[in-house]
Structure 1
Amino acid sequence: MNLAKSTAVALGLGMTLIGGAMAAPASKHDGTWSVRMVTDSGICDASYNYSIAIDNGNVRYIPAPGDSPTTVSGQIGPNGAVDLDIRRSIAKVDANGRLSGKSGAGTWQLGMLGCAGRWTAQKRA
């Protein structure tokens, strides 16, 4: 097979794969969410507000101006189950709960500071 044919086959295969990925159904939870975390116990601040983006169950933190670097790992299940680890500096928060429709709720804890509380979320887009 000459170079032109190889390139054409590769491009055709690439376009097929891209088209298939673009046609994949979006998760019903995909979009931007506002999250409010309220502290019920421990020495943490009374509340925190965050924005996250969900894309096919994967969560990405949307930093506000001046925020410290923050990473989010874990996923949102197809049924809305939330199981996330949120890290900022040396602090690690475990968050669990459920999203349903355009809202969600659950609990969180930051073991190293003895903090725990609840969170609520609202879908923005």
Structure 2
Amino acid sequence: NLADATRGLEFDLHPDARRLSVGFPPPHHVDWALAALDVLESGGLTELQARAVDLADGLAGRLGSRVKPRGRSTLVAWEVEDPEAEVARLAGEGFAIRHLPGAGTVRASVGPWSSEAALARLAELTSR
């Protein structure tokens, strides 16, 4: 029901009836989610999760000392001078990352669908 889902902390609601959404997912969204889980489980959920974590580790390694402390997860946060501008710039390059308000960082969420080539490109773009 937010006008811009990337700015959830600012709570700008849609100007139309969508602002009245109660948050329950429609049945077809539930069906899609269950179908997606079936696909992930058929590919080996544990293996897919391990792949995502390994890819995130690779991205963190490419970003070097700018990376904020992290555990073994699929999230990689790194320091930038202007987080909101970096999110906009990288969105223009086809990457969906988010800034962490007040932290001076941006964060990428890596999944098993991510490719090494795309993550290498992201790391290259962040060095500019």
TM-score, with structure 1 as normaliser: 0.27
**Larger Rg belongs to:** 1
More strand by share: 1
TM-score, with structure 2 as normaliser: 0.27
